[in-house]
Amino acid sequence: MILSPSLLSSDFGRLADELAALETAGLSWVHWDVMDGTFVPNITYGQPVIAHLRKQSRLFFDVHLMVERPERYLHEFVDAGADMLVVHAEATPHVQRALAEIRRLGVKSGVALNPHTPLSVLDYVLDDADMVLVMTVNPGFGGQSFLPASYRKISELRAMINARGLSTLIQVDGGVDPSNTAQLVQSGADVLVSGSAFFKFPPYAERLKAFEAAANSVL
């Protein structure tokens, strides 16, 4: 299990300090929720913020683009220092092209699905994705409650990936905390994104241990 804390719930006035604290606590990934105010109602940060903080962090930058027509910005986010770019299947009519371009730019590719989006949209693009992000809340704001129907979706996605002999990661984002970590891992999740359930419970090293203990209980 990889834990990727979402900076959406961190202290925006101390982002550099937050990244340093995550490294010190033993985290390896960090999740950037990039929102444009159109695809989702909220607005967060963009390429300049990521580029500035890239110089100050060795963490794996997992960048989730909640923006309309993300293909317009792929090279800018790669230049800013993203290690992985995740685009929404609902945000572009050219998902395969976007995923192929992300890989061409030299970083990992991911595709995200909103809660209502069926797995069938992945039929012809799954081979182009290094990771699939299953949204377990409706995207746009932190602190929402996990949608229980997501467990079945994650299990079905794991079966689809295994049937094709792929090594595609499954990421889960929305309402993730230690109380549902075991069931998420058991359902097939590899990467867990946690915002308020992580950052509101310092010290970070101890919170990481709580997630890891829950994950290890079913491994």
Full 3-state SS string of the chain: CEEEEEHHHCCHHHHHHHHHHHHHHCCCEEEEEEEECCCCCCECCCHHHHHHHHCCCCCEEEEEEECCCHHHCHHHHHHHCCCEEEEECCCCCCHHHHHHHHHHCCCEEEEEECCCCCHHHHCCCHHHCCEEEEECCCCCCCCCCCCCCHHHHHHHHHHHHHHCCCCCEEEEECCCCHHHHHHHHHHCCCEEEECHHHHCCCCHHHHHHHHHHHHHCCC
pLDDT score recorded for residue 142:
67
How big is the chain, counted in residues?
219
Domain with 129 in it: 2-216
pLDDT score recorded for residue 143:
67
In tens, the pLDDT along 189-201 reads 999 999 999 999 9
Residue 174 is assigned to a ligand binding site: yes
Residue from 128, 173, 177, 190 carrying the catalytic annotation: 173
Residue 31 is assigned to a ligand binding site: yes
Closest CA to 195 of 2, 10, 71, 58: 10
In tens, the pLDDT along 147-190 reads 999 999 999 999 999 999 999 999 999 999 999 999 999 999 99
Active-site residue flag, 128: no
In tens, the pLDDT along 12-36 reads 999 999 999 999 999 999 999 999 9
On average, the pLDDT of the chain sits at 96
Q: Which residue has the higher pLDDT, 146 or 154?
A: 154
In tens, the pLDDT along 41-80 reads 999 999 999 999 999 999 999 999 999 999 999 999 999 9
- Residue-wise burial string across 86-99, b where 16 or more C-beta atoms lie within 10 A, e elsewhere: bbbbbbbeebeebb
**Sheet containing 108-113, strands listed edge to edge, beginning at the edge strand earlier in sequence:** 2-5, 191-194, 169-173, 131-135, 108-113, 84-88, 60-66, 29-35
pLDDT of 141 above 80: no
pLDDT score recorded for residue 98:
98
The number of folded domains in the chain is 1
In tens, the pLDDT along 84-134 reads 999 999 999 999 999 999 999 999 999 999 999 999 999 999 999 999 999
CATH number at residue 75: 3.20.20.70
- Using 50, 70 and 90 to split pLDDT, how confident is the model at 144? confident
Active-site residue flag, 33: yes
Residue from 33, 36, 62, 177 carrying the catalytic annotation: 33
